Every structure is written in C-alpha cells, then in structure tokens.
Amino acid sequence: MQDITYDVRVYKTEIYKGKTTTTYYVRWKVGGKPRRKPFRNAAQADTYRGELQAAARRGEAFSRAAGEPVSWSRRNRADMSWYDFVCKYVDMKWKAAAPKYRQDIARALTAATPAMYSTTRGKPDDLALRTTMHRWACNTKHRGEAPDEAAAVLRWLAANTKPVSAFADDPGLARDLLDAATSLLNGQRAAANTVRKHRMIVSNALDYAVELKLLPENPLKTLKWKPPASTYEVDRRSVVNHAQAKALLAAVRAQKPSGPRLVAFFALMYYAALRPEEVVNLHRDNITLPPGDNAGEPVNAWGELHLLKAAPYSGREWTDSGTAREERALKHRAQGHGRTVPIPPPLVAILRTHLAEFCDGSRGRLFSGVRGGELPFITYRRAWKAARKTALTEKEFTSPLAARPYDLRHACVSTWLNAGVPAPQVAEWAGHSVDVLLRIYAKCIVGQDEIAKRRISEALA
C-alpha cells in the first residue's frame, strides 16, 4: 500500500539569481519532509505552487515518496526510476555507439547507481550489484539473457532505485551521484581521466532526462565542480631507445609458438607508429613494398602503408557481430578517411619475411592465431610480457619502460620528432592533430632547447 499523508504545507517561492539565469524554487513539506522543485520562469513556478495548494485545500492525500498528490500519479507516469532510465538511455545510445564507448557508458552509470538506491533493505552484495549492473542492465544486446542469479539482482535494482525526479526534490543528490560516479568500489577517487570521462557521460545522460521531460534542467550543470588535474603527456620512462627496441623484437621472435609471427606485429608499432587495433586489422592490400626480391633490396628502399580501418578490442558482449573486435573508422577520422604512413627499410625487410613465412599471398589479414582465425588479444599481450622479461634488466622490467605494446608507438613518434621531422608531417603519419601531438610528446623531444638557443644566439649576433 502506498505511504500517504495529509500533512502538507506550501511555502513562498524562493528565487535564486545566478550569473546567467534565474531559478524559481517552489517549496513545500509533505509529512514533515522538505521538498522543492526548480523552474526557469515565475509563471511555471506559480502554476505548480497553485496546484499544490489547491490539492492540499481539497484534502487530497499526498504520496510521501513522490511528494505530490496521489491523484497526480497518472499524470506523472513519465517519471521513471533511475534503473529504468539507465536502461532507456543505454538503449538509445547503443546503435550509434562504438563497442568501447558502450563499455564506457556502462562503467560510468554503474558507478553512479549506488547514489540512487532508495533503500538498503535486502540489498545484494556491492560487487554483485556492480557486476550485474555493468554486464547485464547496461547491455542492450544481452539484458534479457541474464542468468537467474543476475536476474534477481536486476529485480532488486528495478524496485529499489529512486525516481529521476528525486534530483528536483533533493539538491544534494546531484553531488552524491557525481561522487559515486567518480569513485572506485572501495570508495577511493578514480584516476583523473576516468573522473573526467564519467562526469561527461553522467551529464550527457541527465541531458537526456531533460529531453524526456523527466527533469526541468540538468542538476550537474549547477554544481561547482573543479576537474582533477591530469596529464596527457607520454612518460619518457616508457619510451625505448633503438637498441632496446631491437632487443625486444628479438626476444619476441624467441617466444614459441607464436613469437615468430608476432615480430612484424610489434615492428609495425615501433617503425610506423601504428596503434594495436590498426596493426591487427592490416590486410595484404594495405601494404606497398618497393621492388625487390627475397634476397634483399637497396638499403634506402621505402614502402607505404595505406590505412582505412581499425579493429579495436572490446569483447564479444559489446559488439553487434558477437566477435571480440569490430571494424571501425580510424581514430580521429571520419568513415572512409584513411591515412598513409611510410615504411622505413628495416620494416620493409621484416614485412617481406613475414609475408613469405606466414601469408599465403591472399588478401586476408596479415596476422592470425597459430591455428588460424583472428589473432587473440591475450596472445600478443603474453608474448610481449615474456619478451620484456627476457630482453630487459630486472630494474627495467619493473619500470614503465615499454610496459605496454602501445609504448612502441610512442617510441616511434618520439624518434620522428627528435629526427627533426616537422610536427605537421608527424601528426599526419601518426593520426593526431598537431596540437595533441605536441601536448602528448612534449617531454619526449630532447635536444630541441639547445638547438633553439643556438638559433637565437645566431640571430642576435
């Protein structure tokens, strides 16, 4: 039975004048609990306040949970619970979102949800709630396939999350939501980049609530919130020199059984600055090698890579195809827009060997698993970890030096910049904007300050 009361008091409208907008807050109490609701103009606030007063004078019962007359429940049927809203938002974003972004949405909204619990009675374990919310509730494709144990957790969530309208009644709820969204399960603050990303996703979701007329405005946008300091610069300690890179590639070759077929995989990152998702999706017809034979070619012979698509790893649960990877446009480029990257002579030789030993001349992908099929993510991660342990000293192995295969790309871009290649050209080859390139690799450009000083001295002389 619905918890109702006839104890209702309506107060004078509160007016808040901000720097750019004025907000009118209708204030009232239901069963002794303060309520307030924001409006953009005075007429809307007066109308709502008048309706509350009229209902109270008629002796209508008010809902303690909703704070409004019980008779309005049908009128407010669009006021959905947080759980239902999250599912609706995920479903709205699913079709257009890339698999990785689908995961980002799931992580952000899952982290935020504990702030929206309406009760803790019968609450499942926190880890079970978080896992189930992320894997099933926030997954349009598989939500209806949840096993019995997960389905029970989903039923609890569906019945025990606050309505979206609660943001209008509780001014502190928006900050609670933001704190939850930017925290880890243990309560500690998440990494700076995660905080920024989750705040953006949750804010976008609440914009959708405004679009659905569940809220008059986005409550996060009224909060005073300072984003955490973060850096996008590459850590110079992670960048290998040429000798270390060659030693690592040799150590990769020694890994059995998959090592020999992975040398070219890692070499493409080190010599051509490709991202892992670009390498794994390379086809034979993406490569143009200079004339020559298997016996060798001139030392100055260069080739070209013509990149059109990438295949980021996201996991089978998040792709439409049910495969672990799904082809997408290149990062920072529109669909159908590619880029061309030069192949230096050392990489030309490595690719010739790879094509001769591991490719049958077809136009299929360059890289596959030992038993055929798509190259597993775990395969090259394990090979890289083993190669680092073999090729690096114990101190280097425990350091950030080439900790991820992606660090080979950083080493390549740093090499191009330090060789004096103009930043616009490096940005084009690497698939960056010039601004992002210089911001990310600022600490990896060595010796440029001395060159600059010498040029200034020459100018002054």
Cα–Cα distances (Å) from 217 to 28, 112, 174, 238, 259, in that order, read: 20, 19, 12, 45, 56
Instruction: List phi, psi (to 5°) of 18.
Output: -90, -175
**Alpha carbon distances (Å) from 382 to 111, 259, 378, 405:** 30, 10, 6, 11
Structure tokens at 77: 């049927």
Strands (DSSP E) found in 80-224 = none
The pLDDT value recorded for residue 362 is: 45
The distance from CA 394 to its chain's CA centroid, rounded to whole angstroms, is: 33
Give 152-160's long-range contacts (Cβ < 8 A, gap of 24+). 152/124, 153/124, 153/128, 153/129, 156/122, 156/123, 156/124, 156/129, 157/83, 157/113, 157/129, 157/132, 157/133, 158/81, 158/83, 158/84, 160/117, 160/118, 160/119, 160/121, 160/122, 160/123
H-state helical runs in 220-258: 242-253
DSSP 258-317: THHHHHHHHHHHHHH---HHHHTT-BGGGEEPPS-BTTB--TT--EEEEE-EE--B--GG
Q: How far apart are CA 353 and CA 253, in angstroms?
A: 12
Strand partners, 309: 329
Phi and psi (nearest 5°) for 352? -60, -45
- Name the residue with tokens 């698509």: 309
Structure-token match 């079970």, residue found: 128
Task: Report which DSSP code applies to 73.
Answer: T
Rounded alpha-carbon distances, angstroms, from residue 201 to 170, 181, 204, 206, 219? 21, 10, 5, 9, 14
pLDDT at site 218: 94
> From the CB of residue 355, how many other CB atoms can be counted at a distance below 10 Å?
17
Q: Tens-digit pLDDT profile for the chain (461 aa)?
A: 457 889 999 999 999 888 777 888 999 999 999 998 888 778 878 888 998 999 898 888 888 888 888 877 645 545 789 999 999 999 999 999 989 999 999 999 999 999 999 988 899 999 999 999 999 999 999 988 888 899 999 999 998 999 998 888 788 899 999 999 999 888 888 888 899 999 999 999 999 999 988 888 999 998 888 877 765 677 788 888 899 999 999 999 998 888 999 999 999 999 999 999 999 999 988 999 998 655 455 557 899 999 988 888 888 899 888 888 888 888 877 777 889 999 999 999 999 999 988 875 445 788 887 777 778 888 899 999 999 999 999 999 999 899 999 999 999 998 898 888 898 999 999 998 888 887 787 666 555 566 667 777 777 87
Tokens read off for 447: 């010796």
pLDDT of 357 reads: 87
Residue burial 289-301, b: 16+ Cβ < 10 Å; e: rest: beeeeeeebeeeb
Paired with 37 in beta bridges are 26
Of 179, 139, 67, 446, the closest CA to residue 315 belongs to 139
Q: What is the pLDDT of residue 232?
A: 65
The pLDDT, as a whole number, for residue 361 is 46
- Note the pLDDT of residue 75: 52
What value does the CA radius of gyration of the chain take, rounded to a whole number of Å?
Answer: 29
Distances (CA, A) of 74 to 160, 167, 169: 20, 20, 19
Beta strands across the sheet bearing 303-307: 287-288, 303-307, 339-343
| pLDDT the model gives residue 298 | 54
Of 344, 272, 343, 274, residue with least CA distance to 309: 274
Residue 104's CB is within 10 A of a number of other CB atoms, namely 17
pLDDT for position 287 = 92
CATH, domain range 238-405:
1.10.443.10
